[in-house]
Amino acid sequence: MISHKKYMQIALSLAEKGRGCTSPNPMVGCVVVKRGKIVGKGYHKKAGTEHAEVIALNQAFKKTKNSTLYVNLEPCSHWGRTPPCTEKILECGVKEVVIGMKDPHSVVNGFKELKFRGIKTKIGILEKEARKLNEAYIKYITSKTPFVILKVAMSLDGNIATSTGDSKYITSEEARKYVHQLRSECDAVLVGVNTVIRDNPLLNSRLVNGKDPLKIVIDSSLRIPEKCNLMKNPSGLIVATTSKASKKKLESFKKKGVRIIKTNAKNGMVDMNELMKQLGAMEIMSIIIEGGAEVNSSAIKEGIVDKLLIFTAPKIIGKGKEAIGDLGITKISKAIKIKEPTIRKVGKDVMIEAYL
């Protein structure tokens, strides 16, 4: 069991290399071991490319017969963008397959398939770590909606800006780099139109060497300025609006290449749950929200947030702009309780990671 965990940890570390590049596929790493030595390893690099198992088995070449294969996610047993990995495993004469976790995708049944065809198979090795690694994929596959992270950068007394709206910069450069890395790993970053009007943000990953996410703006009346920074790359912009939007402006945005999503109005605002369903249908698997108080509170109230990342700077502002708006909570007993909180320092700031 100790060696199983050792090699599974290597498979998980390999899978991590694909972070930010495999969507809407999961991150998968694979190790082929024979007589206590690693003879092949690989990880899934991008949707549509070879799976981790195929890369590792090809690297092992003639040493696959009677080997043990370690993979953090159940091997696929169906034809998709690529052939089924179970067939490759069987062809190569692998003796044993050790799996981190079951694939939540309904068409994947690699564990039973391999067992039925005579291969010794174990599942559930470092399962907690495997599930954490692919938490976005699990949510996306089981709900057909994106995994949503709500990020807040605030002062010690809960403000995201001064009373005049100044917010540059509450947190340290290390915290900002952390967020830029997170942007590069997510499919999209989401803000409200007020943030665009007030800050004219870039919402890119310029502080790290990574891909830029898609940009999503919640804008029920289509007030987004046509000359804002986000419009410099219209094909990378999604604007979520309602029937309150000007038809003329809608057509102008569409001609420029902006993708428009219209939802029914909910209390005069974009219906967040309907938006998430439409984004899921576009194969957007993960989103980070970096909005103001209104968007933050709306996302929490609508129940679309999966994870919280709260950066707290060692600064006191006094009367300023609050991080989260009215949630309609009037009694402490009704307060929203966060789950699995962890605390760490990022630069001079404290980061709390938790789930809702």
Closest CA to 75 of 47, 107, 40, 48: 107
Helices within 70-157 (DSSP H only) = 85-91, 110-116, 127-133, 135-143
Q: CA–CA separation, 199 vs 201, rounded Å?
A: 5
Q: Which helix (H) or strand (E) holds 11?
A: helix 2-16
Just list the catalytic residues: 53
Two structure tokens written together for 234: 């219209």
Question: What one-character DSSP code corresponds to residue 54?
Answer: H
Contacts of 141 (CB under 8 A, 6+ apart): 103, 104, 105
Going from the C-alpha of 340 to that of each of 123, 285, 343, the distances in angstroms are: 25, 22, 10
Two structure tokens written together for 157: 């007394």
Q: Which long-range contacts (CB under 8 A, 24 or more apart) does 105-111 make?
A: 105/141, 107/77, 107/78, 108/74, 108/75, 108/76, 108/77, 108/78, 109/77, 110/74, 110/75, 110/76, 110/77, 110/84, 110/85, 110/86, 111/74, 111/75
Q: What's the angle, vertex CA 265, arms to CA 262 and CA 267, rounded to 5?
A: 155
Q: Which helix (H) or strand (E) holds 120?
A: strand 120-123
